[in-house]
Amino acid sequence: MTRLIVTTDSSIAGAIQRAGLADLEEGRSWREKRTSFLRYNPIKRWWGGALLTNERLWRWDARGRSLIAPA
Protein backbone atom coordinates (compact mmCIF):
# COMPACT_ATOMS: atom_id res chain seq x y z
CA MET A 1 0.00 0.00 0.00
CA THR A 2 1.31 3.43 -0.96
CA ARG A 3 1.01 6.19 1.62
CA LEU A 4 0.59 9.81 0.63
CA ILE A 5 2.98 12.15 2.44
CA VAL A 6 1.93 15.78 2.17
CA THR A 7 3.72 18.79 3.56
CA THR A 8 3.80 22.52 2.95
CA ASP A 9 7.00 22.91 4.99
CA SER A 10 9.80 23.53 2.47
CA SER A 11 12.49 22.10 4.80
CA ILE A 12 10.56 18.83 5.13
CA ALA A 13 9.87 18.78 1.39
CA GLY A 14 13.61 19.13 0.76
CA ALA A 15 14.39 16.28 3.16
CA ILE A 16 11.86 14.06 1.39
CA GLN A 17 13.48 14.78 -1.97
CA ARG A 18 16.99 14.15 -0.59
CA ALA A 19 15.76 10.81 0.77
CA GLY A 20 14.86 9.81 -2.78
CA LEU A 21 11.09 9.90 -2.34
CA ALA A 22 9.00 11.10 -5.25
CA ASP A 23 6.84 14.20 -5.30
CA LEU A 24 3.73 12.60 -6.77
CA GLU A 25 1.00 14.30 -8.77
CA GLU A 26 -1.42 13.53 -5.92
CA GLY A 27 0.64 15.57 -3.47
CA ARG A 28 1.15 18.44 -5.90
CA SER A 29 -2.56 18.59 -6.73
CA TRP A 30 -3.43 18.74 -3.01
CA ARG A 31 -0.88 21.48 -2.27
CA GLU A 32 -2.18 23.51 -5.21
CA LYS A 33 -5.76 22.92 -3.92
CA ARG A 34 -6.84 21.18 -7.13
CA THR A 35 -8.05 18.14 -5.17
CA SER A 36 -9.12 17.26 -1.64
CA PHE A 37 -6.85 15.50 0.85
CA LEU A 38 -9.90 13.37 1.72
CA ARG A 39 -9.90 11.86 -1.76
CA TYR A 40 -6.85 9.85 -0.69
CA ASN A 41 -7.79 9.51 2.99
CA PRO A 42 -11.49 8.66 3.19
CA ILE A 43 -13.41 9.11 6.43
CA LYS A 44 -15.97 6.63 7.73
CA ARG A 45 -16.44 6.77 11.49
CA TRP A 46 -19.04 7.37 14.14
CA TRP A 47 -18.55 10.42 16.34
CA GLY A 48 -21.04 11.56 18.97
CA GLY A 49 -23.86 9.54 17.43
CA ALA A 50 -23.25 10.85 13.90
CA LEU A 51 -21.77 8.88 11.03
CA LEU A 52 -19.04 10.93 9.36
CA THR A 53 -18.26 10.08 5.74
CA ASN A 54 -16.67 11.98 2.86
CA GLU A 55 -20.12 12.39 1.31
CA ARG A 56 -21.55 14.02 4.46
CA LEU A 57 -18.53 15.98 5.67
CA TRP A 58 -18.79 19.69 6.44
CA ARG A 59 -15.66 21.79 5.92
CA TRP A 60 -14.34 25.02 7.41
CA ASP A 61 -13.45 27.87 5.05
CA ALA A 62 -10.70 29.70 6.94
CA ARG A 63 -10.61 32.60 4.51
CA GLY A 64 -14.39 33.16 4.59
CA ARG A 65 -14.64 32.06 8.24
CA SER A 66 -17.72 29.95 7.54
CA LEU A 67 -18.89 26.36 7.23
CA ILE A 68 -19.23 24.75 3.82
CA ALA A 69 -22.05 22.23 3.49
CA PRO A 70 -21.43 18.83 1.88
CA ALA A 71 -21.68 18.91 -1.91
Give the chain's largest Cα–Cα span.
45
Residue 3 lies in a domain: no
HSE value, Cβ hemisphere, 13 Å, CA-based, for 63: 0
Q: Is residue 5 included in any domain, yes or no?
A: no
Range of the domain at 29: 10-68
What's the pLDDT score for residue 41? 77
Other Cβ atoms within 10 Å of 25 Cβ, number: 10
* Per-residue model confidence (pLDDT) at position 46: 92
Q: Kindly state whether residue 31 falls inside one of the protein's structural domains.
A: yes
Q: What is the number of structural domains in the chain?
A: 1
35: in domain: yes
Does some domain include residue 2? no
Q: Is residue 20 part of a domain?
A: yes
Mean pLDDT of successive 10-residue stretches along the chain, which has 71 residues: 59 69 70 73 87 85 90 74
